[in-house]
Amino acid sequence: MIGRVIGGHHDRPPHTRPCGRGTALPSPIVVRPDPRNYPMSDKAASAGQSARTQRYDGPLELLINGEWTQAEDTQTFVVDDPSSGQAVATMADASVADALTALDHAVDAQKAWGALAAGPRQRLLRQAADNVEAAGAELAATMALEAGKPLPEAHGEVGASVAYIRWYVDQIGHTPGHLARSLNGEWDMQTVYRPVGPCLLISPWNFPLLVAARKLAAALAAGCTALVKPAGLTPLTSAVLVRCFVEAGLPAGVIGFLPTTRDADISEALMADARLRKVSFTGSTRVGSILMRQAATHVQGSQMELGGNGPLIVLDDADLDLAVEQTMIAKFRNAGQVCIGANRLILQDSIADEFLEKFVKAASNLAPGSPFEKGTTMGPLISSAQRDRAVSIIRQFVAAGGEVLYGGSALERPGHFMEPTVITGVGVECELAGEELFAPIAVAYRVADDRAATDFANAVDHGLSAYVFSGDLGRALQVADEVEAGMVAINRALYTDPSGPFGGVKASGMGREGGHEAIYEFLESKLIAARLH
């Protein structure tokens, strides 16, 4: 294995072991983007102009038993704008006592919510989807404000979230169970599906709406009550989402909302309570492993979408213009802070130089900036710690023999901005290849052939996403089949859809979100056998 990734997403320290000797870090390359290459829609631009003149005015409290309330100990925490470093809101900080009170009410509400017929449940959740769609401009502006997403990306996340909610609404009518006769013909077997019970839903900061929406919609569609715990860096978007569900008319106690900076204490207390029956978590492998160990005590169900180290393979018969265009999306959207993003660019030797020439030119046209500025095509990193970690990783690659073809530095401006960075010259044996970058850093590796590409793709602990570019569909399918990943995209960067399963293998997690089977993550089958004579 190439290194052992310490964790997924954003909360692990970078590798410290060098892989060789290299040159000193070169002087930063000044970014001179042409914003005309990435125009913003009029709708996004107008929403941005409006957001710049308004502060966040959504919920700033916990939701417990249908009431928005301050934390029991009145503690709060500040939410910052990563594009300026300035505070934008002060949120109630849930305590362990608040979390257990919310669980009390979720338990009380479970029986009635779980017994609600499919039709009424569909009507409530359909209204919630309508509410989220109607709040689209507010949600997009809130994501831009607290997560630094450029408005076009934020609007795209709103649309995807609405699609997931509507998908789960439709799935409610497709889980009635089935009837079968025993093999000897002496009794009938009725299989019915029942909600697992109260769930803890933990969502990350990088997709604060999409991940929370698809977890919440799946749990509620299955008839489970839910405690929503957003990331402390981005609680505002989830607060607006929860408000949309509450205003659809859901009964008190069905949803609890627990923004907090006391994540470990709250999760530990809730997982220690046998009344909680399921945890669905998106985040680092390190934290996911802790939650799974805690779940073992009461045999609680676990759905985990953890870290990634996505290989993006470009074979020698690929359409290089298409590959570059799609790699820009797979690598640099959300400033590289995407669990399914391209983490390792694996290039066949014969086309590597041409690909990198085109790729560096495309990267030079990216426009880092405020998410509300027309022409911005890449926002900030989420925090100064994340930015400093990215700079440290670049220095380690250079120390390992890497060459910075473009970028390489933090930008000297307010906020947590990085230059888009392209690095080459690092061998596949480098320990750093096992590190999830989670930053706008593209590292290119060269391989001789298909076998070398798949061997390197599989030589890490994780297996969430992968990408293959080839002009021969049969060849691409063969490589895709051999890559150890829960999801593989061929000749495209964007592939997630409500109708398809989302999740990984190996250290990237267990269970799936989306697809026909995802609602069953929150259901348990029950057999009822009736003697015929």
- The residue range of the domain holding 336 is 308-498
Q: Which residues contact 52 (CB under 8 A, 6 or more apart)?
A: 372
**Residue 272: which pLDDT band, with cuts at 50, 70 and 90?**
very high
DSSP 269-298: HHHT-TT--EEEEES-HHHHHHHHHHHHHT
296 plus 324 within the same structural domain: no
* pLDDT for 22 beyond 50: no
DSSP 418: B
**Mean pLDDT for the stretch of residues 406-415:** 96
* pLDDT for 5 beyond 70: no
What integer pLDDT is reported at residue 532 of this predicted model? 78
Burial 146-162 (b: 16+ CB within 10 A, else e): bbbbbbbbbbbbbebbb
Nearest to 193 by CA among 529, 525, 490, 454: 525
Please give the C-alpha separations between residue 413 and each of 143, 410, 451, in angstroms, as whole numbers.
Answer: 21, 9, 44
Residue 104, Cβ neighbours under 10 Å: how many? 17
86 plus 179 within the same structural domain: yes
Q: Which residues are catalytic?
A: 305, 339
* pLDDT for 188 beyond 80: yes
Enumerate the β-bridge partners of residue 314.
Answer: 347, 469
120 plus 253 within the same structural domain: yes
**Mean pLDDT for the stretch of residues 378-382:** 98
261 plus 348 within the same structural domain: no
Is residue 49 a part of any domain in this protein?
A: no
**Mean pLDDT for the stretch of residues 416-437:** 96
DSSP 149: -
Angle formed by the axes of helices 320-332 and 349-364, nearest 10°: 60
* Better-predicted residue by pLDDT, 373 or 36: 373
82 plus 225 within the same structural domain: yes
Can you read off the two tokens belonging to residue 197? Answer: 């019970």
DSSP 159: H
Domain CATH code at residue 241: 3.40.605.10
Question: In what order do the strands lie in the sheet containing 278-282?
Answer: 67-69, 62-64, 255-257, 226-229, 199-202, 278-282, 301-305, 509-510
> d(Cα 423, Cα 444) in Å, to the nearest integer?
6
118 plus 210 within the same structural domain: yes
**Residue 533: which pLDDT band, with cuts at 50, 70 and 90?**
confident
Nearest to 285 by CA among 273, 296, 293: 293
430 plus 356 within the same structural domain: yes
Provide the mean pLDDT of the chain: 90
**Residue 524: which pLDDT band, with cuts at 50, 70 and 90?**
very high
Kindly report the backbone phi and psi dihedral angles of residue 194, in degrees, each rounded to the nearest multiple of 5, phi listed first: -125, 145
302 plus 347 within the same structural domain: no
Q: Which residues contact 457 (CB under 8 A, 6 or more apart)?
A: 311, 313, 344, 346, 466, 483, 484, 485
Is residue 21 a part of any domain in this protein?
A: no
341 plus 366 within the same structural domain: yes
* pLDDT for 25 beyond 60: no
- The total of structural domains in the chain comes to 2
For 195-248, what is each residue's pLDDT tens digit? 999 999 999 999 999 999 999 999 999 999 999 999 999 999 999 999 999 999
* pLDDT for 36 beyond 50: no
